[in-house]
Amino acid sequence: MKIESGSVEKTAAVREIFTRIAPRYDLMNRLMTGWQDIAWRREAISRAHLAPGARILDLGAGTGDLSREALRQQPDSFVVAADFTLEMMRVGKSNSNTVPHWLAADALRLPFPDNQFDAVVSGFLLRNVRDVPQALREQRRVLRPCGWIAALDTTRPGISLLTPLIRLHMRYVIPLLGRLVTGHRDAYEYLPNSSETFLSAEELAKCMEEAGFEQVGYRRRNAGTIAIHWGQKRAE
C-alpha cells in the first residue's frame, strides 16, 4: 500500500489502517521487533527528562505503551494519551486502566493552550503525519519553556552489508507476518513504504532545530532502522 506523503488523503488513509489493525497492534509490534520495542520506549521516556509530578503529553499514543512507561518511570506524573484513531485508544483502555486520561487529538492542531506540558513524547507518530514541521511546531507550542520532546520512530538506514536483509525483512517478512497475525497484509505493506520515504535521522534532527528545539540529539537502534530523537524547548 502506497500513500502519498503530504497529501490530505494521507490522514484518512492512516486512520483507516490503524483502525483495522488496532486489536493486534501491540502483538505485531512485539513480533516485528523481537520485543525490542519495549526497550526503545523505555529509552525514549528516559530522554524526556521527566521530573516528579511532570505533565506529559503522549502524542499519537495508540494503545498507550509510552504513557504506561512514563507512569512506570514517574508514577506521580500527569499523562495525557492523545491519538486521532479512536479504535486504538479503545483497545488501549480495554487492555489496561493505568492511563486515566485519553483524548482524541490531531497532531497538527493540538487542542491545548501554549506552555502546558513538561514533556511531549511520541512513538511511531511522525512518519504518519502529513506535515512533520507543523507537528513539531505544535509540540513546541504546548511545551513549557525548557520542556523536552522525545520521539521514537523508524528511519532510513544507511547502506551496509545488512541492507539486503533489512529490505527482505521490511518488504516481505513484515507484510507476510501482518497477514498471518492481523489478516491485513496491505496495512503492513504501508510500514516499509512509509519508512523508506520518511526523513533520515539527520534530516529529522534538522527539522527539530528549525522548529525551535535546542540540544537536539538522536540514537539509532535496530541496525539503523529505528531512531530516538530528543530536544529541548528554548527558554523564552
98-153 confidence digits (pLDDT tens): 898 999 999 999 999 999 999 999 999 999 999 999 999 999 999 999 999 999 99
- Which residue's C-alpha cell is 505533565? 55
Q: What tens digit of pLDDT does each residue of 211-229 get?
A: 999 999 999 999 889 999 9
Nearest to 173 by CA among 192, 197, 160, 155: 192
Percent of the chain with pLDDT over 70: 96
pLDDT by residue (tens digit) across 1-56? 445 555 567 888 899 999 999 999 999 999 999 999 999 999 999 999 999 999 99
Of 56, 76, 53, which is closest to residue 64 (Cα–Cα)?
56
* Furthest C-alpha separation in the chain: 51
| Side-chain half-sphere exposure of 150, counting CA atoms within 13 A | 26
Name which residue leads in pLDDT, 172 or 5.
Answer: 172
Q: Which amino acid is at 1?
A: M
Q: How far apart are CA 86 and CA 106, in angstroms?
A: 12
Amino acid making up residue 103? L
- State how far the Cα of 157 lies from the Cα of 201, in Å rounded to an integer: 9
| pTM (2 d.p.) | 0.92
| 215: enclosing H helix or E strand | strand 213-221
